[in-house]
Amino acid sequence: MATIENEINRRRTFAIISHPDAGKTTLTEKFLLYGGAITLAGAVKGKKAARHAVSDWMEIEKQRGISVTSSVMQFNYDGYCINILDTPGHQDFSEDTYRTLMAADSAVMVIDASKGVENQTRKLFKVCLLRDIPIFTFINKMDREARNPFDLLEQIEQELGIQTYPMNWPIGAGKEFQGVYDRGKKEIVSFTANNGSRQVEAREVDINDPRLAEIIGREHYETLVDDIELLDGAGGEFDLEKVRHGKLSPVFFGSALTNFGVEPFLKDFLQMTTPPLAREADVGTVDPVNDPFSAFVFKIQANMNKAHRDRIAFMRICSGRFEKGMEVLHVQGGKKMKLSQPQQLMAQDREVIEEAFAGDIIGVFDPGIFSIGDTVCMPKKKVRYAGIPTFAPEHFALVRQVDTMKRKQFIKGTSQIAQEGAIQIFQELGGGMEEVIVGVVGTLQFEVLEYRLKNEYNVDIRMEGLPYQFIRWIENEGLDPKKLSLSSDTKRIQDLKGRHLLLFANNWSIQWAYEHNEGLRLSEFGQN
């Protein structure tokens, strides 16, 4: 038992979120370097594989080997066993990205110091807030021209609605970047550009050291003293409990590319985060250490091998120890089974594993039985996790098959692809499946849908973009949507589970719906 406890307690499972190009890949790579999981910078190039055009879909598929391996990475550092969940930051922004966050215990948010909070960070952040997970901010690219650090913090606080606490403070930026002041240690760590090698030249100097002004220059010194005074006086207190509940984000300034501030960040981060915590299930709280194996599916990767339409289901282990070959219960399917070919992803390689622990992510071969959100557990201790909410898609199209003889394949194809979670499908109220409304989070998914229906199901489709921007689930139980008073550009639809939704062309129509229907409750998330 002691070893299971030790193994679980040394686990840290987090997601990295950012807007494209903020430096997520670079930072991840530096982490892996410290963990010894890779030896060469430039080894993690998964995201580049996804620079896309439709015609590249097969290319994307071919490259999937890379993007899959880069989607979850495990490595050891300083006695910790770290699982990094990569959220695709590129334009192929899909629901997968959101779901990945459901499997993480905390998140690292990478922000480009010259740009501040950007659109995709904002979206991802919303999901972090849903779960109250700790969020750590790394303000990257301090070796380039950067915005004023106070402005950056203010923007994070205002736009994301979370308090911040700078753990260190930058001295200058760009060519003038001198290093950071570590507020905990009250020391300066000075910066010397070093072409990205593993060790940064860190010189630690006490803030009261009279030589400091010489080292960083009088002007920087004066600014620093003023800044620190302001931070200590007006800034909030550091409160670890708030951090752990996602109410306060510790902020670190640094530069991933030049490897400045990365290791101190990793060290502090690991100390402040917790091992996997208890999760809620239908039977109550499931304890990661004392309860036997349980996990839930948060991602399904289709098409690992086109000829077999095989898929890999990614599971986050929530409790206990997984052992290869053991019999588990697939709760939703009501069947006992052995998970075949359990794999874990170590940086570049996939390897079959013998065992894994709470906090780990495993990928198992899926013959088409799993859906997103499903639970697997030990037959003798049945639990069921709440599932993963369906996130509101942002682009919509009306899709129908060209050849009506292909109806069966069309239904099968769209349903399966929806089950994998790549798209969501909706119908007109009381309508059939001859034509469906497809909703996606990122528009690349439309192209993928078309390509896959043709190639895997031999169905040609016609797609017509729909002018809706927002979708909302109606939360009022038993409410007949036909009785709602809505603006003429609002559409009533249902999902495959028969839940009612509304499609809105703009914010104004949403307001209209609220104003004309007292007590109406709408949600951006569909609870499974």
Q: For binding to ligand G4P (CB under 6 A), which residues are involved?
A: 18, 20-26, 47, 89, 140-141, 143-144, 255-258
**Nearest CB to ligand G4P, comparing residues 43 and 272:** 43
Q: Is the CB of residue 415 less than 8 Å from the CB of residue 457?
A: no
Q: Look up residue 365 and give its amino acid.
A: F
Closest CA to 449 of 497, 415, 407, 495: 415
Beta strands, E only, 40-79: 72-77
Overall residue count recorded for the chain in this entry: 528
Smallest distance from ligand G4P to CB 125, Å:
15
Q: How far is CA 34 from CA 28, 75, 104, 210, 264, in A?
A: 10, 9, 21, 34, 11
Question: What's the number of CA atoms in the CB half-sphere (13 Å) around residue 515?
Answer: 7
**Nearest CB to ligand G4P, comparing residues 101 and 437:** 101
From the CB of residue 197, how many other CB atoms can be counted at a distance below 10 Å? 11
For residue 474, give the 3-state DSSP assignment. Answer: strand
Eight-class DSSP state of 402: S
Smallest distance from ligand G4P to CB 464, Å:
33
Smallest distance from ligand G4P to CB 195, Å:
12
- Phi/psi for 24 (5° steps) reads -60, -45
Smallest distance from ligand G4P to CB 132, Å:
25
Using CA atoms of 27, 30, 32, 36 in order, give the dihedral in degrees to the nearest 10: -170
**Nearest CB to ligand G4P, comparing residues 50 and 302:** 50
**Nearest CB to ligand G4P, comparing residues 25 and 69:** 25
Closest CA to 277 of 296, 260, 259, 290: 290
Q: Is the CB of residue 382 less than 8 Å from the CB of residue 421?
A: no
**Nearest CB to ligand G4P, comparing residues 196 and 393:** 196
**Nearest CB to ligand G4P, comparing residues 259 and 494:** 259
**Nearest CB to ligand G4P, comparing residues 115 and 381:** 115
Using CA atoms of 30, 36, 38, 42 in order, give the dihedral in degrees to the nearest 10: 20
For residue 396, give the 3-state DSSP assignment. Answer: strand
**Nearest CB to ligand G4P, comparing residues 61 and 143:** 143
Smallest distance from ligand G4P to CB 335, Å:
40
**Nearest CB to ligand G4P, comparing residues 253 and 512:** 253
**Nearest CB to ligand G4P, comparing residues 22 and 101:** 22
Q: Is the CB of residue 198 less than 8 Å from the CB of residue 283?
A: no
Q: How far is CA 505 from CA 169, 464, 470, 488, in A?
A: 44, 15, 7, 10
* Angular region, 87: left φ>0, alpha ψ -120 to 50, beta rest: beta
For residue 273, give the 3-state DSSP assignment. Answer: coil
Smallest distance from ligand G4P to CB 230, Å:
26
Smallest distance from ligand G4P to CB 373, Å:
28
Smallest distance from ligand G4P to CB 20, Å:
4
Smallest distance from ligand G4P to CB 30, Å:
9
Smallest distance from ligand G4P to CB 265, Å:
12
Closest CA to 364 of 374, 436, 439: 374
- For residue 373, how far is the Cα from the chain centroid? 15
Tokens 């009612």 — which residue? 500
